[in-house]
Amino acid sequence: MKIDVLSLFPEMFQGVFQSSILSKAHEAGAFQYNFVNFRDYTDNKHNKVDDYPYGGGAGMVLKPQPIFDAVEAVQQDAKSSPRVILMCPQGKPYTQKKAEELAKEDHLIFICGHYEGYDERIRTELVTDEISIGDYVLTGGELGAMVVIDSVVRLLPNVLGNDDSAVQDSFSTGLLEHPHYTRPADFRGLTVPDVLLSGNHAHIDQWRRKEALKRTFLRRRDLLVGMDLTEEEQKWIKEWGSEEENS
């Protein structure tokens, strides 16, 4: 298995990858790894990889260009289509079943973000899997990636010495966040929603609320239990439910 890790702080992984089971697995040839600082791929003269979010708001958003280029670079010599994994609080909760699924792959690419979030086009156009290791927020995706990588590598053949060891293993509240976009407004033909460029903050707030509610409905419906929703929001949920039933 080959594992590529895209991070602004690749040095964080050195101690983990050079210790314990991961170190032994690498020495035995069970997997290869490569660390990529995607800042090296930015075309910004100041080496920036983030920008202010369209529509306003707190924090900075990772730009699409550096991450697109970094992923494409590590994919050039790929013998098969790699799984591209985005570490984020909005992803599907990580489970042992998912670890077993990923352990069957030949190539995994992990994207570890920082700041407020990712430009949505990274999520929709590059990523095959979005993973969360819990309902809490970390300063970046590196620690989560370490957790997932460790849980996957230990499932590879002969890594634990006794393959039966792996077989016998056990197993804040609110809405998920709305999509984020940053410059450029048009990236490879993929455009930012018009409402975020309108300057009408009331419409922007409504769009964000609706998108956050929809994402939560589609991905973590359990978070909506007991939540105080307006009549309009309840109407949206009924519409999405009907669309689901008819799809």
109 is in an annotated binding site: no
Tell me if 211 sits within 8 A of 178, measured CB to CB.
yes
Sheet containing 61-62: order of strands: 50-51, 61-62, 117-118
DSSP structure string for 115-176: SSEE-HHHHHHT-SEEEESSSS--SSSHHHHHHHHHHHHTTSTTSSS-HHHHHT-----SPP
CB 190 within 8 Å of CB 120: no
**49 known ligand binder:** no
Known catalytic residue: 169?
yes
Cα 117 to its chain centre, rounded Å, is: 9
Catalytic residue, from 121, 123, 154, 208: name it: 154
Distances (CA, A) of 127 to 131, 159, 193: 10, 28, 20
134 annotated ligand binder: yes
Tokens of 167: 């077989």
- For residue 146, give the nearest of 8, 2, 15, 1 by alpha carbon: 15
Which residue of the set 40, 43, 169, 244 is catalytic? 169
Name the catalytic one among 51, 105, 116, 205.
Answer: 116
Catalytic, 116? Answer yes
CA distance linking residue 48 with residue 182, whole number of Å: 13
Binding-site positions for S-adenosyl-L-methionine: 113, 133-138
- Active-site annotation, residues: 89, 116, 154, 169
Binding-site positions: 113, 133-138
